[in-house]
Structure 1
C-alpha cells in the first residue's frame, strides 16, 4: 500500500481502461488513498459490476462501472453523466484507455487508424470537455493523460499510435494553459516499456521467431530502445499518477513527463 499522504480521501477518480494493466493498477493506488473509483473497460456489465463491488468492499469506497464505447462521443457523454449522477462529481480524470496496431503506413488499415485515433486521442478530448466544468466549480481538479514515449519520439509501423500519443501531449498543453487559473492541473505521463499483457505477446513473438528464451527475448526488446534493461510495472505508473494528484505537484502542469528508462535521453 502506498504511504504517500495526498489528502485525496473522498475525491472521485475516473480512470478509462481500468479493468487491466496500468489503469487497474492506478485504480488500486487511488482507492488505497480513499478515492471513490469510476472503473471503465472492455468487460461485460456483470463482470464489471463484480469488479466494482470488489473495490468497494476492499477499500470501503463508492464505485461505478461502465463499458462505454470510447469511439462514440455520445456514449462517453452518457458514461460521464451517469458516473456523476452515481458518485457526485469527477475530481480526478485519468485518460488511460488505448489500443495498438502495427503496420507500415502504406498498408495501414483505415479502420485501425480511425479506431486508434478515436480511442487513444479523441476520447480524451471528450472526457476532458465534460469534466473541466465540474472541476472548475470546485477550483480543484487533476487530469492525467497516459501518453507514451511514442508521444515524444517515433517508431516504425506505429503511425496511428504515434500520431495519437503526440496529439495527447498537445491536448495536455492546451488544456493546462486554459485551466491554469482554475486550480486544475493537466499532465501527460510518457512511459517506455511497461510489463503488461500487450507487451508479453510481443515478447512471445520474438522468442518464437528467434528461438530465444522468454527472458532473453524480453531483454532484447527492452534494450533495443532504452538503456535501462528493465520494464516498469503498472503500479509504478499508478504511483506517479498519485504524486501528480497531490499538493506537492500543484505547480506541475502542461508537462509531458517521461518514465522511459532514458529512451528519450539518447
Structure 2
C-alpha cells in the first residue's frame, strides 16, 4: 500500500517548479491530486502529465488572494475527489529589491499572495478537517523567514508570519488530530530564481556566490523538496506538529 493511496491532496502553486514536483510525487504515491494555480495552462499541464503516467489529478485555476475563488476551488475538489486529507500551501511570489526601493502596492501584492492567500486556504479547508478529526497541512515558507534575505524584506516578513501562524494553528487544532508543519526551501532553481538572476548585473557571479555559501555545494532543485513535504503529510509524521524544517543544502543550520 502506498502512503497516500486514495488520499485527496491540494497543492497550491501546483503549476510551478516546487509545486509541480510535489504534485507528481504525491500522485506517484497513490494520492488524488488537486493542482491549483493562477496559471490554468500550467496546472492543466501538470495534471495531464500525472494522468499520462497513470496517476490521478485534476487542475483548477485559483487566485488564492480571492476568497471566492478559493472557496470554489475547494468545493470543486471535494466534489470531484472527495474530502481533503492534505493541504500544501506552496504558492508564492517575490520581488527582489532593497526595501526602500519598493512601494506600498508591491507590499500589498506580496502580503496578499504569500500570507493572506495561505490564510484563505486554511480557513476554507480546516472546517472539514475538524469535522473528520484528521488532516495534514504543510506550509512552504522560506529560509528567508529564518535568517532574513537582502532584497526580500516584505517577502521574508510574510514567510516569517506564515511560520508563526502555522505554529498557532498547530496548537489550536492538535486536539482535532490535525498536524501543521512548515518546510523552508533555501535557494532553489525555480522560475522565481530565474527572474532573480535575470535582474542581477552578473548572473553567473550571483550563482557562484550562492553555490559557495551552500555547504552541500549546489543550488537546490525542485525535486529536493517533495521528500520533506510528503514526510510531514504522511502517517510517519503523525506525532510531529508545529515544526519547521529547512531544505537548503545546509545554507541555514538551526538548532
TM-score normalised according to structure 1 size: 0.87
Correspondence for 1:22: 18
Q: Which moved more, 1:51-60 or 1:114-123?
A: 51-60
Correspondence for 2:48: 53
Q: 1:109 to 1:182 in 2, by over 3 A?
A: same
**CA displacement at 1:8 relative to structure 2:** 1.2
Unaligned runs of 5+ in 1: none
CA contact (8 A) 2:224 2:247 kept: no
**CA displacement at 1:41 relative to structure 2:** 1.6
Correspondence for 1:31: 27
**CA displacement at 1:124 relative to structure 2:** 0.9
SS at match of 1:39: strand
- Identify the match of residue 222 of structure 1 among 180, 202, 211: 211
Correspondence for 1:12: 8
Correspondence for 1:160: 154
Unaligned runs of 5+ in 2: none
Q: 1:107 to 1:218 in 2, by over 3 A?
A: closer
How far, CA to CA, are the matches of 1:229 and 1:141 in structure 2?
Answer: 36
Correspondence for 1:43: 39
SS at match of 2:175: coil
- Identify the match of residue 147 of structure 1 among 141, 149, 156: 141
SS at match of 2:249: coil
Matched, 1:247 2:242: no
How far, CA to CA, are the matches of 1:223 and 1:122 in structure 2?
Answer: 34
Correspondence for 2:193: 199
Q: Which moved more, 1:33-42 or 1:102-111?
A: 102-111
**CA displacement at 1:205 relative to structure 2:** 5.0
Matched, 1:235 2:223: yes
Matched, 1:128 2:127: no
SS at match of 2:225: helix
**CA displacement at 1:126 relative to structure 2:** 1.1
**CA displacement at 1:204 relative to structure 2:** 5.0
Deviation track 1:45-87 (CA, whole Å, cap 9, x = no partner) reads: 6x644542332232342x3212221221222122212221221
